[in-house]
Chains A and B, each alone.
Chain A
Amino acid sequence: MMNLIYTYQPLFDYFLLAVGFAYSQQMVLRAGVFSIGSAGFACIGAYAVGILVKNQGVHPLLALLLAVVIGCVGGFLLSIPLARLRGVFQAIATLAFVQIVVSLCLYFDDLTGGPQGFNNIPKLVQTWHLLLAVAVTIYFMYVISRSSIGRAFDALRQDETVGATLGISIRKYHMIAFVLSGALAGFFGGMQSLYTYSIEPEMFGFAFLVAALTYIILGGRGTVTGPIIGAAIMSVLPELARPLADNRQFFQGALMMVMVAFMPHGVFDGLVLYLRKRRAAARDKTFKEGGHGSTGS
């Protein structure tokens, strides 16, 4: 039994980190912002925390707090130029942002270790830390989701113009989405840094971006549970697909194409929408059969 736990614990840990990054990606997508820049903030957070804790001896909690602050400020700053763009242009702009961050990490190699990576970071984060972090994150995600912020995000995602005419300030709420996304990515980037002993810029490049996006595609972007499902699928899949060995990437690619074609809302959101339709149809049926209020007889 213990052996089983030991074998799968790293998988579980990476799953937890994935959930954190998935929420970061979800925040912006939920508000209708086509940003894929979480990777950039994760990179900044990871290096900031790694450097501060290892080189400067800063207390990890303080370093993580700083990562959150950097993520917030960075998200806010990024939201300003991106307010003028929409759709694929936002995507390309945030992609450029990620590339800039990665390139700068490679360039300032005195500080970051360059392409060789930043190594020997003390492993201060254990599974239970990650579990706690994710639990707290889920709490915040849930609370925000049920609040007016969550509703505003949903409205803007579905029809920006309608949202605006109902009093939702697009600039303000997009900015909030960016700030939250940056904060989450920065924080979990820092957590990753304190978990994996070493980090390198390429960890936060194109592959990271694709992974974060995939969690949301698979799980869904409108609910709190969706990203967890998406991250879970992506974490478990490589294990299940072990017999497929070298074909794993092919499988992942095929899965993405199939999901997008048949379940564009993701597994969980798709389920929620389906159940909603079923219930509505059932209610229609009973209404028609029951007749319009049998008051007298």
Chain B
Amino acid sequence: MIAQQLVNGLVTGSVYSLFALGFTLIFGTFKILNLAHAGVFMSGAFIGYFAVLNGLPLWLALVLAMIGAGLVSYIVELTAFATIRGSGQIEFTALISSIGANLCLMSVAQRLSNTKVLRFPFETFPVAFYELGPVRFSFLQIIILLVVVVLLAVMMLYLYKTTFGRQIRAVSGNERVASLLGVNPALVYFQTFFISGALAGVAGILIGLSFNSIHFYMGEPYLLKAFVVVVLGGLGSVHGAVVAGMLLGIFQNLAVAYLPSALTDTIIYGLLFVVLLVKPSGLFGSEGVQVGVARR
């Protein structure tokens, strides 16, 4: 029983990780909370849905969702963030701007779906189950785990082994210096937002398949969970997002099995609050978190 919950939790957690990864990438690199990430996640689901609806095979729909969501994310960067760079108090204004962008995305989705919940056509995904000891995996769960593992591996390689990845980390440290060193910030913005969006888009279509429901406000609960994952894992930390995402997924599944969901939420957000008080930099974050004026 517990083992089953653990497995389910791992699957849920892996999606949380995927979602949170894109979120923390932007947060860590540009120090802004991009609430439009929820809309990007949702757009991945929508793009995948319409692809399948038009007869495309599922694997292609997945790829299109990834690319499409990446582009949507970049559009958000162009409209919501590029316009406010250079003004003061960027944390505040970026948050508001991202809320606005999210509203726009949700509105478009609402129109496209006629405010209805969309469901994938019946035979989109084969329903099959596999047993491994006391645990039962669905084919979908296996695919989700596989996709997430592959994507995470690719991400790690990208961020830590390639030039582009190093550039992202350079810009994250100090943009002006990075550009003086020959890094093209515009390219970095594009890559960061595209990758972030692509990951969210995959998460979106996977969730859409899991619950077989796609609707224009599906991003919000994941956004709220993402806050927990990002803070717990540590600002901008890729490892942190993965570990914290898995932990949250496991915890949530176990908790929901034994506790009412409202209480589970209370505990999760209570945990978030405590982490912020005790160690705002989270498990893996090393960022100096601002603490206001005091003798240091």
Mark A residues whose CB is within 8 Å of B.
34, 81, 83-89, 91-93, 95-97, 99-100, 103-104, 106-107, 114, 160-161, 164, 170, 206, 210, 213-214, 217, 246-250, 252-257, 260-261, 264
Contacts and interface: CB of A to CB of B under 8 A. Distances in A.
A286 to B, nearest CB: 31
A95 B227 contact: yes
A152 B276 CA distance: 27
Contacts of B80: 257
A99 B224 contact: yes
B67 interface: no
Given A89-B276, A104-B266, A264-B93, 20 more contacts: A81-B276, A81-B277, A85-B280, A85-B290, A86-B289, A87-B290, A88-B31, A88-B91, A96-B228, A100-B265, A160-B292, A164-B293, A247-B107, A249-B110, A252-B100, A253-B100, A253-B102, A255-B100, A257-B80, A264-B84
A261 B96 CA distance: 10
Interface string B250-287: 00000000001011011001101100110010000000
Given A89-B280, A96-B269, A253-B102, A107 B290 contact: no
Tell me the interface secondary structure of chain B in the complex.
helix
A170 B270 CA distance: 26
A256 B108 CA distance: 16
A83 B95 CA distance: 21
B276 A257 contact: no
Contact of A100 (B32, B270, B289): B270
Given A249-B103, A253-B100, A260 B277 contact: no
Contacts, number: 143
A256 B107 contact: no
Interface residues of B, number: 50
Nearest to B281: A89
Contact of B92 (A34, A210, A253): A34
B262 A93 contact: no
B16 to A, nearest CB: 16
Contacts of B273: 81, 93, 96-97, 100
Contacts of A261: 83-84, 97
A84 B292 contact: yes
B174 interface: no
A253 B107 contact: yes
B104 A250 contact: yes
Contacts of A81: 273, 276-277
Contacts of A161: 293
Given A92-B227, A96-B272, A250-B108, A260 B262 contact: no
B97 to A, nearest CB: 5
